[in-house]
Amino acid sequence: MFLRVFAAATLIATPLLATKVERADQLMKLIRDNGCQMTATEADTTLPQHGFTMDETRLIVLSWIQAGLVDTHEFEGIKLSDKGCQGA
């Protein structure tokens, strides 16, 4: 019984994980296409047009910070590090 529940949960979770990765990739592309940075004003305009919410964006960016993909030095918005901008 446990294996059936685990298998069903895995099948349900797999598309959700793929969707999160696809959304993070889409957000990364939007920022790279904008010169590897996006001001808060630009984000307020651009991201909702692509279906991004503030909560979704925040979670993605937090994971990028942990991976070293975001420059966290005083910038009003999102600025990719060299690693994030180059796609390394």
pLDDT along the chain (88 residues), means of 10: 42 55 94 94 93 92 93 85 87
Going by C-alpha positions, the residue among 74, 71, 51 that lies closest to residue 61 is 71
- Backbone angles phi and psi of 83, in degrees to 5: -60, -45
Quick one: DSSP state of residue 39? E
pLDDT at 75: 74
- Dihedral, CA of residue 13, residue 28, residue 54 and residue 71, to nearest 10: 120
**Ramachandran category for residue 79: left, alpha or beta (phi over 0 → left; psi -120 to 50 → alpha):** beta
pTM over 0.85, yes/no: no
